[in-house]
Amino acid sequence: MSDQISQISLPRPRRRRIDPWSVGAFVIAATVMMPILAVIWFALTPTENIWPHLISTTLPRYLSNTFVLMLSVGAITAVVGTGTAWLVVMYRFPGRAVLQWALLMPLAVPAYVGAYALVDFLEYAGPVQTALRETFGWTSPRDYWFPAIRTREAAIVVLSAALYPYVYLLARAAFREQSGAAFEVARALGAGAWGRFLRVGLPLARPAIAAAVAIVMMETVNDFGTVDFFAVQTLTTGIFSVWLQAGNLGGAAQLATTMLAVIVILVLAEKLSRRKIRFFGSARGARPVAPEALTGWKAWGVTALCLFPVLMGFVLPVVVISSHALDAETWLAPGLRRAVLHTVTVGGIAAVLTVLGGVFMVYGVRMSRHRLPALLMPVTAIGYAAPGAVLGLGILVPLAAFDNRLADALVAAGFSDPGLILTGSAAALVLAYVVRFFAIAQGAADAALGRVSPSLPMAARSLGRTAGGTLRAVHLPLVRASLGSALLLVFVDIVKELPATLLLRPFNYETLATRVHAKAVLENLSEAAPAALMITLVGLAAVILLARANR
**What confidence score (pLDDT) does residue 260 get?**
83
Q: What is the pLDDT of residues 39-64, one digit of tens each?
A: 888 888 887 777 788 888 888 999 99
Considering the chain, what percentage of its residues have pLDDT values greater than 70? Answer: 90
| Average pLDDT over every residue of 368-378 | 76
Q: With 50 as the cut, is the pLDDT of residue 484 above it?
A: yes
- The mean predicted confidence, pLDDT, of the chain is 83
**How far is Cα 496 from Cα 430, in angstroms, rounded to an integer?**
14
Using 50, 70 and 90 to split pLDDT, how confident is the model at 551?
low
**What confidence score (pLDDT) does residue 5 get?**
47
* CA 238 to the chain's CA centroid: 21
Q: So where are the chain's domains?
A: 49-277+289-323, 325-551
CATH code for the structural domain at 325-551: 1.10.3720.10
Q: With 50 as the cut, is the pLDDT of residue 275 above it?
A: yes
**What confidence score (pLDDT) does residue 152 get?**
93
pTM for this predicted structure: 0.86
Supply φ then ψ for residue 161, to 5 degrees.
-65, -30
Q: What is the DSSP letter of 474?
A: I
Q: Which residues pair with 92 in a beta bridge?
A: 293
Region for residue 523 given its phi and psi (left: phi exceeds 0; alpha: psi -120 to 50; beta: otherwise): left
Q: With 90 as the cut, is the pLDDT of residue 198 above it?
A: no
**What confidence score (pLDDT) does residue 109 get?**
92
Q: Which residues pair with 91 in a beta bridge?
A: 292
24 residue type, one letter = G
Q: With 60 as the cut, is the pLDDT of residue 287 above it?
A: yes
**Best mean pLDDT range from 2-11, 195-204, 240-249, 528-537:** 528-537
> Three-state SS for 503?
helix
Q: Assess contact for 155 and 230: CB atoms under 8 A.
A: yes
| Average pLDDT over every residue of 403-414 | 85
Q: With 60 as the cut, is the pLDDT of residue 11 above it?
A: no
**Best mean pLDDT range from 174-183, 350-359, 451-460:** 350-359
Decide if 49-277+289-323 and 325-551 have a common fold.
Answer: yes
Q: What is the pLDDT of residues 108-143, one digit of tens each?
A: 999 999 999 999 999 988 899 989 898 888 888 888
Considering only residues 93 and 16, tell me which one the structure prediction assigns the higher pLDDT. 93
CATH class of 49-277+289-323: mainly alpha
Q: With 60 as the cut, is the pLDDT of residue 412 above it?
A: yes
